[in-house]
Structure 1
Amino acid sequence: MVKRKKLSAMVLAIVAVFILNACAEQSDVKVLRIAHGLDVNHPVHEAMVYMQKRLQFYSNGNMDLLIYPSGQLGSERENLELLQIGSLSMTKVSASSLEAFVPEMKMFSVPYLFSSPAHFWNVLQGDIGKELLNAGVPYYFMGLGYYDAGSRSFYTTKKPVYQPDDLEGMKIRVMNSQSAVNMVNTMGGSATPVSWGELYTALQQGVVDGAENNPPSFYLSKHYEVAKYYLLDEHTSIPDVLVFSTNVWDQLSNTEQAWVRKAAADSVEKQKVLWQASTELALSEVKKAGVEVVKADKSQFVSKTASLREQYQDTKIGLLIDRVVAEDASASDTKGDE
């Protein structure tokens, strides 16, 4: 019954998009469609609105972008499937959601891989980041850029967490990612995949004892209403990826593709600024609401999760991790020479 309901929802979404496509064909304006599962007040949605304006500007009104927020066309996985068959032009997915197609994306789920925000963005905007964006082409999607999703930290309902041992016996919600499951279990918790849309109720009813996410998501989801303890341990920095259907892309002219790339690049830079402001606001507001926010002593968490990096030794992902670490060392050497 559950599978049938999910299938029906998927079919309805596809039908709705096809109807909209048919209507759009009656206009001279080429309309692209983008969907995501976040709130309209989220920095990602605001960045997409900005992308729409920039696309209209670059194309002189010949192209437009329609945005479907708040999961209107389904989950990240369902949006990606719509993308693959060409019924949707763009979507935003967590890098973790791409692990099934691009195993190298598991790199982002390795705790404490990046030494600083500068290291993180140097990797994303360099050769490694570009390689990962193109790795989905065999699966009918390509990356246009990365959105900042901050760092993920633990929040809990019944008791605070200050060190890994405090997670012992606690059911912690994670994304449907084996890497995320392994991380929480390694720290001592009991990883429990729950869909994002069901998490508030799961926290409220005690189905799970906590979760892990970035400050804006913690705040905008209103999870702070039921989870009053937030430990800023910042265990992983997993970016969002702006992906485009190759089926749709191949139907665009070179000029249209250039407009889309420029609008997406502008959106990425805008989102960084919006994200920083949203993070500061989120932390301020949850504190006002009575949430205990504590910065973690990360050393214990780093030690506890060291094995998660070691397991990738002598693998493709391990070689990629080595390149990430080397890039940080290279940047430090260059800075020291200045």
Structure 2
Amino acid sequence: MKKMLVSVLLVTLLIAPVFAQGTSESSSQKQIVLRLADNQPIGYPTVLGDEEFARLVGEYTDGRIKIEVYPQGQLADEKSAIEQVQFGGIDFTRVSISPLASFQPLLNALQMPYLYRDANHMWNVLNGEIGQFFLDSMEEKGFVGLVYYDSGARSFYNTKKPIYTVKDLAGMKIRVQESTLMMGLVQALGAVPTPMAYGDVYSALQTGVIDGAENNWPSYDSSSHYEVAKYYSIDEHTRVPEMIIASKITMDKLSAEDQAIIKKAAKESQAVQIAAWADYEKKSEAKVRAAGSQINKINDQAEFAAAMAPLYESQLNAEQKAWVEKIKAVK
């Protein structure tokens, strides 16, 4: 721990001159150079959103504030990036709210299974008063929540048969992330949760060590899991938003006007990211369909959602449960 804090302090000291001095502009103002970390590859929808955010900030400040985007985990992995943003070593990062929830537990209320009726419901929540509350809640943890990005919905796929009802999942060995929430989700549906490293899933499906897994369209495609698990059943059990967070330390160094510009640019970049994600999903879906995957949609989620009652009870505290009810009530 001591070693990590020393490293973070060194990084902070190294970048401080960049923030304070920068390069001279024609207006004689100093350019502020800030860094944004993303663990996804170049061209990925979140990185395209990051780049639009950076472009807009540059445009609105006539180049006085420059945001440099570092994709592919160049600055840090997801968890380390969050920690460095908290300490001011990195200025911004784009992350899933899953690891972020370990810093702000209230966020668990936004990622519960079968919480959102569909994508429209989720965006009505996130871009409304409820979503803004959760962005604002990051400040007490040393962050400034700026905007939500899309990461699609996760569904089940397997080597055996289409899934239409909860009963169809009974006894199936389903690979999950090492997460209490995801293990509880699969168990509540009568399947056997099997934590496993992502890189081992293909061979485990191929050899019958597991019967299935769950993920979004692009991951089902890019992992080539569709080659060995051809049944993809669209139940959209989880929609876990992404978020761009800023370091409160960084933001506090900026004027109120510049902070407002950054928040405005982040919000406006969302449309580009959502459109990029939708295009990314469509291409992946078309590819796996052409390869022979058998796709079916679960039209009635009520049975699946009802099975989650014990999970909601065990995973959420009273405050989180109250937020879940507010989320469900959004039209």
TM-score bin, normalised by smaller chain: 0.7 to 0.9
Q: Which residue of 1 aligns with 2:321?
A: 318
TM-fit CA distance, 1:231: 1.8
Q: Does 1:256 align with 2:258?
A: yes
Q: Which residue of 1 aligns with 2:200?
A: 201
Following the alignment from structure 1 to structure 2, what is the Cα–Cα distance between the partners of residues 318 and 220? Answer: 35
Q: Which residue of 1 aligns with 2:150?
A: 148
Following the alignment from structure 2 to structure 1, what is the Cα–Cα distance between the partners of residues 42 and 316? Answer: 41
8 Å contact kept, 2:57–2:67: yes
TM-score when scaled to structure 2? 0.84
Q: Which amino acid aligns with 2:184?
A: N
SS in 2 for 1:112: coil
Shift of the 320–222 alpha-carbon distance from structure 1 to 2, 3 Å rule, reads same
8 Å contact kept, 2:151–2:240: yes
Following the alignment from structure 1 to structure 2, what is the Cα–Cα distance between the partners of residues 73 and 173? Answer: 27
8 Å contact kept, 1:54–1:263: yes
Residue number among 106, 109, 127 corresponding to 1:107 in the alignment: 109
Q: Which runs of 5+ in 1 are unaligned?
A: 329-338
Within-5 A mapping of 1:1-338? 19=14, 22=17, 25-27=21-23, 28-156=30-158, 158-160=159-161, 162=163, 163-165=165-167, 166=169, 168-174=171-177, 176-194=178-196, 198-205=197-204, 209-297=211-299, 298-311=301-314, 315-328=318-331
Deviates more, 1:210-219 or 1:45-54: 210-219
Deviations 1:309-338 (A, max 9, x none): 45578811111112122223xxxxxxxxxx
Q: Which amino acid aligns with 1:52?
A: A
Q: Which residue of 2 aligns with 1:331?
A: none
Aligned pair count?
A: 318
SS in 1 for 2:35: strand
Following the alignment from structure 1 to structure 2, what is the Cα–Cα distance between the partners of residues 18 and 217? Answer: 38
Q: Which runs of 5+ in 2 are unaligned?
A: 24-29
Q: Which amino acid aligns with 1:247?
A: I
Following the alignment from structure 2 to structure 1, what is the Cα–Cα distance between the partners of residues 204 and 18? Answer: 44
Following the alignment from structure 1 to structure 2, what is the Cα–Cα distance between the partners of residues 58 and 13? Answer: 31
Deviations 1:31-56 (A, max 9, x none): 11111222223211111111121111
8 Å contact kept, 1:141–1:243: yes
Shift of the 265–212 alpha-carbon distance from structure 1 to 2, 3 Å rule, reads same
Following the alignment from structure 2 to structure 1, what is the Cα–Cα distance between the partners of residues 180 and 258? Answer: 38
Indicate the RMSD between aligned Cα atoms, in angstroms.
3.0
8 Å contact kept, 2:234–2:295: yes
Q: Which amino acid aligns with 1:302?
A: A
TM-fit CA distance, 1:59: 0.9
Following the alignment from structure 2 to structure 1, what is the Cα–Cα distance between the partners of residues 273 and 95? Answer: 15
TM-fit CA distance, 1:23: 5.7
Following the alignment from structure 1 to structure 2, what is the Cα–Cα distance between the partners of residues 314 and 74? Answer: 32
SS in 1 for 2:234: strand
Q: Which amino acid aligns with 1:159?
A: K
Deviates more, 1:26-35 or 1:221-230: 221-230
TM-fit CA distance, 1:208: 5.6
TM-fit CA distance, 1:145: 1.1
Shift of the 284–215 alpha-carbon distance from structure 1 to 2, 3 Å rule, reads same
8 Å contact kept, 1:40–1:69: yes
SS in 1 for 2:113: coil
Query: Identity rate of aligned residues, in percent?
Result: 31
Q: Which amino acid aligns with 1:237?
A: R
TM-fit CA distance, 1:19: 4.7
SS in 2 for 1:135: helix
8 Å contact kept, 2:18–2:32: no
Shift of the 56–320 alpha-carbon distance from structure 1 to 2, 3 Å rule, reads same
TM-score when scaled to structure 1? 0.82
Deviates more, 1:285-294 or 1:302-311: 302-311
SS in 2 for 1:230: strand
Following the alignment from structure 1 to structure 2, what is the Cα–Cα distance between the partners of residues 276 and 107? Answer: 24
Following the alignment from structure 1 to structure 2, what is the Cα–Cα distance between the partners of residues 322 and 82? Answer: 34
Q: Which amino acid aligns with 2:239?
A: S
8 Å contact kept, 1:151–1:235: yes
TM-fit CA distance, 1:167: 5.4
8 Å contact kept, 2:166–2:189: yes
8 Å contact kept, 1:108–1:236: no
Shift of the 221–74 alpha-carbon distance from structure 1 to 2, 3 Å rule, reads farther
